[in-house]
């Protein structure tokens, strides 16, 4: 049975035949190229060198195009990565901004549940400033710091530390400082920070 061809298929076949015919007309062989060079009074012996140079330029152009494509892809990926990191950083800072201290106490090494207000420096005790935080971002460590300030207003000790990864929104943390026998007597102050933001502070008297 003879296969029937639709008018649309006939149009496509005719278009393809025209394309192939035009392509064949535009293609020339080496002999024709040499004749053209002779008509233009150009040296035929340089034809091979010219063809080689042309192929090299064409290959270089393709290589440059691939390099530009790779650079474009790299720039796109870098921009996407920077955008993702920026969004993550902003969300992290927003979460840290919502974190607050709901309780703080000063204790010795062994915590008896109390809150010391008077410290005997002759005992050279190691004090713990214990702070309970709420709305704490879960999953990452916290970068915290404490300043221990003597009665003259001088920061005599600073703690800078990272907690272990936070496991729950209510989080307990602490910083430490040992009061020496030569420490200045009077009212002291200890402050806890998250970055530049004050989270908690407390006072105690050294005698």
Taking only the tens place, the pLDDT of each residue in 51-74 is: 777 778 877 878 878 888 888 877
Cα 188 to Cα 5: distance, rounded to the nearest angstrom:
100
Q: Which of 33, 67, 94 is the last residue of a domain?
A: 94
Q: Cα(159)–Cα(162) distance, rounded to whole angstroms?
A: 10
Residues 76-111 have pLDDT tens digits of 777 777 766 766 566 766 667 789 999 999 999 989
Task: Note down the domain range covering 81.
Answer: 7-94
Q: What is the mean pLDDT of the chain?
A: 83
pTM of the model: 0.59
Same domain, 110 and 199: yes
Does any domain span residue 74?
Answer: yes
| Whether 83 and 134 share a structural domain | no
Residues 104 and 202 in one domain: yes
Max distance between CA atoms of the chain, in angstroms, equals 115
Tokens of 143: 């970068």
User: Is residue 1 included in any domain, yes or no?
Assistant: no
In whole angstroms, how large is the CA radius of gyration of the chain?
A: 40
Of 94, 122, 153, which marks where a domain is finished?
Answer: 94
Question: What's the number of domains the chain is made of?
Answer: 2
Examine residue 36 and state whether it is found in any structural domain, yes or no: yes
What 3-state DSSP class applies to 176? strand
DSSP 181: T
Helix, coil or strand: residue 31: helix
Q: Do residue 76 and residue 124 come from a single domain?
A: no
Alpha-carbon distance of 92 to 152, in angstroms, equals 36
Cα–Cα separations (whole angstroms), residue 160 to 20, 88, 100, 171, 188: 77, 24, 18, 17, 19
- We report the CATH number of the domain holding residue 147 as 2.60.40.1930
Q: Is residue 131 part of a domain?
A: yes
């Amino acid at each position: 049975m003879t296969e029937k061809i639709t008018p649309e298929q006939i149009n496509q076949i005719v278009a393809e035949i025209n394309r192939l015919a035009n392509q064949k007309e535009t293609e020339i062989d080496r002999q024709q190229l040499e004749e053209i060079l002779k008509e233009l009074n150009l040296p035929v012996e340089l034809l091979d060198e010219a063809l080689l140079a042309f192929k090299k330029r064409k290959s270089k152009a393709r290589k440059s195009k691939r390099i530009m494509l790779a650079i474009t892809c790299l720039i796109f990926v870098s921009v996407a990565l920077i955008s993702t990191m920026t969004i993550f950083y902003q969300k992290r800072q927003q979460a840290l901004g919502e974190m607050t201290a709901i309780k703080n106490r000063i204790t010795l090494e062994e915590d008896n549940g109390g809150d010391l207000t008077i410290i005997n420096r002759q005992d050279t005790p190691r004090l713990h400033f214990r702070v309970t935080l709420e709305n704490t971002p879960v999953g990452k460590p916290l970068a915290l710091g404490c300043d221990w300030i003597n009665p003259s207003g001088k920061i005599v000790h600073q703690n800078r530390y990272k907690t272990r990864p936070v496991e729950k929104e209510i989080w307990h943390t602490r910083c430490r400082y040992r009061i020496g026998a030569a420490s200045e007597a009077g009212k002291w102050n200890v402050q806890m920070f998250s970055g530049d933001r004050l989270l908690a502070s407390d006072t105690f008297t050294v005698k």
